[in-house]
Chains A and B, each alone.
Chain A
Amino acid sequence: MNRREFLTVSTTAVAVGALLNPSALVRAAENQTGLKNARISYFAARPGSRSRDVAFAPDGAVWYCGQRDGTLTRLDPENGSLHAVSLGEGAAPHGVVLGPDNAFWVTEGGQNAIARLDPATDNVDLIPLPTEFSRANLNTGTFDLQGIYWFTGQNGVYGRVDPKTSAIEVWASPGGRGPYGITVTPSGEVWYASLAGSHIAQIDRVSGSARMVQPPTPKQGARRIWADSRSRLWVSEWNSGQVSVFDPETSDWKTWKLPGDAPRAYSVYVDEHDGIWLTDFGANAIVHFDPDTEIFTSFPSDMPNANVRQMAGRPGEAWGGESGTDRLVRIQFDPA
């Protein structure tokens, strides 16, 4: 780490979050560097849902996993309305991603299955894992550039589903327990992060084998992973409270510690400008990192125990689910 600066966003509550959504609180962020005109809004999720991972529909809606109420729920950010779809008895969805078929694909840990929800009909199909992979502790999924769905399970598995046939293949991960976040790069590679294994791994999309790569910090707890526009891998490190970047072209790593006394980097997301968004449980904050200036800008939640476990976004917006407050959070921004 060569240089690091840290700014806490000075915020002023300026308005109740639009007349359209009384539950949203909009705050104006000023004086931060790395992004301009950041505005934070909060949206109520279903009470007790423990809203977590989010994905976006083409119609502008945001769908989130209700890990505690067993639903995938649609939020209309225009008016704050919610539409919940049950994923079945005992459901406890963890991750969600929009597929090329315009359906949502869910790592449905409660039923040890991949769930596919068609938002046009609310129909839910389940693709169970093979019986030898019971209790996989399903985690996160992503689609590669050929439209194949890849997923992880914390109990030491990863796998894929061909959406055309629903055929599922599952492998034991080479490093044992831990596979957590997963991403696909612009160049088409599939990588996952292993929390318990403290490594990242590239999956060979043909053979299904995985090649482990060790970050420089031992026992760092690589939790989530996201690719930037140059196919570099950004990794949030839970145990070390760091963010790291790995360049597969050069095998070089670079690492930065998040600000604060005891950071816990849970999730990472890379926006369309290659801005890095992290969630820090130690600071109860979303943190933006500008790799060019090496400046962190922190956006603390206005409630305790926000616990944002995943972030995702679309142009000009970064989103997360505050699993500890049953809300979704949106940060709108302009490019710096």
Chain B
Amino acid sequence: MLLLILGPWGVTFAADIEDLTEQGRIAFEPCLSCHALDRSTSGMPGPNLAGLIGRPVAGDTGYAYSPVLRAAGDRGLTWTPGRLKQFLADPEAMFPGMWMSYQGIKDEREQESLAGFIAGHK
């Protein structure tokens, strides 16, 4: 109904969001080897990412983080949508020496879609 009221421009916008969500889901697939987005999942090789936005860096209390991320959390850094997107572009540049070896994403739209997908799992 909303789409009809907005007309073709609105339809395009809604489809775009849907597309971004699907892109984010696909972009997250390799991450699933180490991370879960479901709060009930534990014992993964990497921290649980449910509810990441607003959480301190190194804030999964059930996970033993690298000294680099623990230090960032101790400095009071928290995850914001902007920080997450910047992190996904080049994690090693933000936190050199962290344990995760992930090269990051060059494509800005993919960064955005992956950041949005992770942030959407509260």
Question: B66 and A155: CB pair below 8 A?
Answer: no
Question: B92 and A50: CB pair below 8 A?
Answer: yes
Contact of A154 among B33, B92, B97 (CB under 8 A): B33
Contact of B67 among A154, A238, A304, A325 (CB under 8 A): A304
Question: A66: shortest Cβ distance to chain B, in Å?
Answer: 11
A178 sits at the interface (CB 8 A): yes
Question: A262 and B33: CB pair below 8 A?
Answer: no
SS class, residues of chain B in contact with chain A: loop
Contact flags (1/0) for A129-159 with B, using CB distance below 8 Å?
A: 0000001010000000000000000111000
Contact flags (1/0) for B58-77 with A, using CB distance below 8 Å?
A: 00000010111000000000
Q: Which of B55-114 contact A (CB under 8 A)?
A: 64, 66-68, 92, 96-99, 101, 103, 106
A201 sits at the interface (CB 8 A): no
Question: A37: shortest Cβ distance to chain B, in Å?
Answer: 31
Contact of A305 among B42, B45, B68 (CB under 8 A): B68
Given contacts A155-B33, A196-B45, contact A68 B97 (CB under 8 A): no
Q: How large is the interface on B (under 10, 10 to 19, 20 to 34, 35 or more residues)?
A: 20 to 34
Q: Which residues of B contact A154 (CB under 8 A)?
A: 30, 33
Contact of A178 among B33, B66, B68, B103 (CB under 8 A): B33
Given A305-B97, A309-B101: 20 more A-B contacts, CB < 8 Å: A67-B101, A67-B103, A90-B106, A135-B29, A135-B30, A155-B29, A155-B32, A155-B33, A177-B33, A178-B33, A221-B45, A223-B45, A262-B64, A264-B64, A282-B64, A304-B67, A304-B97, A305-B67, A305-B96, A325-B97
